[in-house]
Structure 1
Amino acid sequence: MIETMHGLPDGVLGFRAVGAVDAADYESVLDPAIDAAVEAGNKVNLVFVLGEEFERYSLGALWKDAELEGKPAHVWGRIALVTDHSVIAEIIHGISFLFPCELRIFGVDAVDDAVAWAAEGPRED
């Protein structure tokens, strides 16, 4: 599932993956939050945590993640991926040139740094 992180600075959306993540998690949690930020004219500065509680992505979730790339490039500010899963970090690092924004990978022990970095990103179009 995807849980919303609370208490973040204005202009930062934060989410935590817990257990298995599937397409319905994107549809019910992540997509509406991103769409609301875009409709409000805000850049999407995102913190996404894949910590110890994270188990796996379903194929449907991977597809929904790929669909996020279809959003116009101008809506993206910064993406902070927080994970100690080395394979995931290496894959994301390898394809980071495909992301239409700044992307940085942080270790789980640096969640606060990830949030601060995302908060420094652009706010409005």
Structure 2
Amino acid sequence: MLTIIPDLPDHIFGLRASGEVTKDDLQQVLLPGLEKLSEQYKEIYYLLVLETDVRNFTAGAWVQDLIAGIKHLTEWKKMAIVTDQKAVEKFTDIFSYLSPGEAKGYKLTELPIAIGWLSHKA
């Protein structure tokens, strides 16, 4: 399930992932949020708090995630993935070298630091 994180700076779109994450979650929560941010700011600052194992994302969810990433490829400015899954945190740091924007991985206890980093526009 994806839920929107409230009370973030206006230019940041934040989601919390828990339990199983499906194609419908991405179509109903992630994609509309990215579209709104894209229309309003023409750039994307994204926070994902991952409280579920990445294996709980269905195949359909991964496809939708890929579509969202490609559709907004040039608009990604900063992405923070907050998780206690070491492999995901390391992948996020490596992904930063491949993506047009910056990406950083943080531990769950570092959520305020991640929000602070995203708050400063690139």
Partner in structure 1 of residue 111 of structure 2:
111
Partner in structure 2 of residue 78 of structure 1:
78
Over residues 57-104 of structure 1, what are the superposed CA-to-partner deviations in whole Å (9 max), with x where a residue is unaligned? Answer: 111111111112212433111000001112322333444433221000
**Which of 1 and 2 has higher RCO (CA within 8 Å, sep 6+)?**
1
Report the residue type matching 2:87 in the other structure.
V
* Residue pair 1:10, 1:119 contacting (<8 A) in 2 also: no
Partner in structure 1 of residue 50 of structure 2:
50
* Residue pair 1:69, 1:99 contacting (<8 A) in 2 also: no
Structure 1 consecutive aligned stretches of length 4 or more whose deviation exceeds 4 Å:
none
Report the residue type matching 1:116 in the other structure.
G
TM-score normalized by the length of structure 2: 0.88
Higher mean displacement: 3-12 or 37-46: 37-46
Q: Percent identity?
A: 26
Over residues 36-61 of structure 1, what are the superposed CA-to-partner deviations in whole Å (9 max), with x where a residue is unaligned? Answer: 1111234110110112xx14111111
Report the residue type matching 1:6 in the other structure.
P
More strand by share: 1
RMSD of aligned residue pairs (Cα, Å) = 1.6
| 1:90 to 2:107 alignment | no
Partner in structure 1 of residue 35 of structure 2:
35
More helix by share: 2
Q: Distance in 2 between matches of 1:102 and 1:80?
A: 9
Q: Distance in 2 between matches of 1:77 and 1:59?
A: 26
TM-score normalized by the length of structure 1: 0.86
Q: CA deviation at 1:20?
A: 0.5
Partner in structure 2 of residue 2 of structure 1:
2
Give the number of aligned pairs. 120
Which consecutive residues of structure 2, in runs of 5 or more, have no partner in the other structure?
none
Task: Please give the secondary structure, in 1, of the residue aligned with 2:30.
Answer: helix
